Structures are given as C-alpha cells and as structure tokens.
Amino acid sequence: MSYRNAFSDVLTGVIAPSAERTGREGRFPRGSVTALGHAGLLGLTVSAELGGGGLGLSDAAEVVAQVARACPATAAVLQSHFAAVAVIEAYGSRWLRGEIAAGRHLSSLALAEGDPGKQGVHAQAREPRSTAARSGDVVALRARKHEVAAAAEADSYVWSSGPLAVQDGLTLWVVPAHASDLFVPARPDGGGPCGSATSTVFADPVLVPADAMLGPDGGGLDVVLRTVLPWLLELQAAVGTAAIHPSVAAASPGPARRPADSLALS
C-alpha cells in the first residue's frame, strides 16, 4: 500500500474526526500523531535505506496541505517535524533517523529566542542569547526558546545555541524533549493553532552529550538558511500561509522569500 493510501486512511479515520475536539479543547492531537507514525508518515522523508519513505519536500508539502484542511494543529506539528527532520537526516545519528523512520519519534524546532520577529539573523549570529559550555563529553545549554510546536509532546528538539569553540555563528543540537532539566509552562503560551502545544521551552541548563551536535560548530546559521527556512516556506506555501514559521522568525534576514527562491539556496 502506497503512503498516499495509508495517509488517506489516517486522514479520514483519525485526524478529521478528532480535529474539532482538538481545536475546541486545545488538546494535543496525540492520536493523530501516533497514527501518522504507524502509517509511515513521520518517516516520510527519511532515507529508504533506514526504513523511511525516501521522499522529499514536495511530498511532505502535499501531506501538510491536506492535514491543514482537516486539523490546523496537526499540520503545525508536522511542519515543524518535517523541517527538523531535514536537519536530522543530514546530520543526525543513524539510530535517531531509524527511530523517525519507524514512526516512533516526533521532532520539533527550538530556534526562536529573544523577542520573536525582532532579532535579525546577523544579530543572532553575532550575539546569540543562548549559550553552550562544554565540560568533558557533556555540553550545558542555556536558553529560553519561543514558539516551539509540540512543546513537551515531541521526542526531540532541533536546538540552536551560540558556538562552543569558534567566535561567531550558531551551533545546532538535538535535545531530548523529555530531559528533566527542561521546563515548559503547564499552559501553552505560544501563538500556534489551538492544540499544537506551541509554547516556550526553558533550559537552565539542559545537559546533552557533545555528540548531540548537528553539523559543524558555528555552522548552524548556514543550515537554518539553506535547509530549515526553505522547508518551512515551502510547507507553509502549500497551505496558503505567507508568514514565516515563528521558530525561524528570529533567524529571518528580511522579508520572506518566495519558496522557489528559497529552495535555490539548498
């Protein structure tokens, strides 16, 4: 059975029937996310070698667009997940990619910090508010991340910080979302669709292994511009949304590019 057939079954049998309750009660669509995982949709863009769908951005955009028409909260979660997975697929461990491919792992972006929408990309690169400090094989990350979809519901965050050893830039990490040192308010305080669990995530600090780094130290800004931003713009264009996802609003170099222009960067 193709992923489209499996997706159709999940969309009509799980996502659509629960969408009204999700929006009315603000309840995270756990059943929908679980069903998407079982159907192979969370791993749609992971390499087929690891059991994923081996597909790309256009297929992810098709899925997000159809989900958005039924349940905006689930669509917001998927947008952040697919963009995070694009980074993990390029730089993450084989084990983590396999977990996503198997539908057992939901990821999300934790990039925005400071005043959302007010901090340009160059300012964030020169003076990031989040910090990283290494002691042996452990890194302590301190930050307040805004507008994180699936906060306290995802399994991991793609997280940005100041660099460890180089002078400028950003560094990206994969951070376990259920780490005991992370704090998420009991009531979501973000601006995402009701039920998307969009909220602030606090780390003061959270400890991660040094090998949780995604890509080179200080190279995260390039990854955000060449991978995360194009994915989010394309996914949002698929649902007719012009605004940049809040998670990268703080890393936007100016007015949003058209998706085609952004994809030319990758």
CATH class in words for 109-218: mainly beta
Closest by Cα among 141, 34, 142, 33 to 80: 33
Grade residue 187 by pLDDT with cuts at 50, 70 and 90: confident
31, two tokens: 């059943």
Percent of the chain with pLDDT over 70: 84
Omega of the bond leading into 205 within 30 degrees of 0 (cis): yes
Tell me how far apart the alpha carbons of residues 154 and 108 are, in angstroms, rounded to a whole number. 6
Tell me how far apart the alpha carbons of residues 152 and 83 are, in angstroms, rounded to a whole number. 18
Q: Tell which CATH architecture fits domain 3-105+221-242.
A: Orthogonal Bundle (1.10)
- The pLDDT, as a whole number, for residue 246 is 55
Rounded average pLDDT over 89-114 = 95
Tell me: pLDDT of 225 over 60: yes
Tell me how far apart the alpha carbons of residues 128 and 4 are, in angstroms, rounded to a whole number. 41
Tell me how far apart the alpha carbons of residues 89 and 150 are, in angstroms, rounded to a whole number. 20
Boundaries of every domain in the chain: 3-105+221-242, 109-218
Please name every residue paired with 210 in a beta bridge, in sequence order, or none if there are none: none
pTM confidence score = 0.88
Q: What is the pLDDT of residues 8-17, one digit of tens each?
A: 999 999 999 9
Q: What is the pLDDT of residues 121-141, one digit of tens each?
A: 444 444 568 899 999 999 999
